[in-house]
């Protein structure tokens, strides 16, 4: 491994990321937009019924994920995607994904 590869590898491991994710219920057309610093464990919580707002529509499939290096940017994006305009944008962006689930 070259020094640059090694340096990048170490940097990526210590860098903190913030995630905005979209889950699609496998039971209905329900979409859930969320934010987390550990999206994998958060999705497990949703699928285990540990989140009140998503409990009724579990199980879920991850259909969209955005990665940010700044927490404020991630939270602002989550808030936007939860608005009417944001949801419309999301459904347009994921038109074919939503058809195939």
The reported pTM is 0.85
Q: What is the DSSP letter of 87?
A: H
Spatial contact of 35 and 74, defined as CB atoms under 8 Å apart: yes
Contact 31, 76 (CB under 8 A): no
The C-alpha atoms of residue 58 and residue 15 are separated, in whole angstroms, by: 32
Q: Are 37 and 17 in contact (CB under 8 A)?
A: yes
pLDDT at position 100 is: 86
The confidence score (pLDDT) of residue 40 equals 97
What Cα–Cα distance (Å) separates residue 26 from each residue in 1, 48, 60? 43, 14, 6
Task: From first to last of the 101 residues of the chain, give the pLDDT tens digit.
Answer: 566 666 666 666 678 999 999 999 999 999 999 999 999 999 999 999 999 999 999 999 999 999 999 999 999 999 999 999 999 999 999 999 999 87
Domains of the chain from N-terminus onward: 16-99 (3.40.1440.10)
């Amino acid at each position: 491994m070259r020094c640059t590869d090694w340096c990048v590898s170490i940097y990526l491991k210590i860098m903190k990321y913030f995630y905005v994710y979209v889950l699609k219920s496998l039971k209905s057309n329900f979409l859930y937009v969320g934010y987390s610093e550990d999206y994998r464990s958060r999705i497990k919580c949703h699928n285990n019924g540990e989140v009140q707002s998503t409990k009724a529509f579990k199980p879920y499939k991850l259909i969209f994920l955005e990665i940010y290096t700044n927490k404020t940017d991630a939270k602002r994006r989550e808030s936007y995607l939860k608005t009417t305009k944001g949801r419309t944008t999301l459904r347009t962006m994921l038109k074919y994904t939503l058809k195939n689930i």
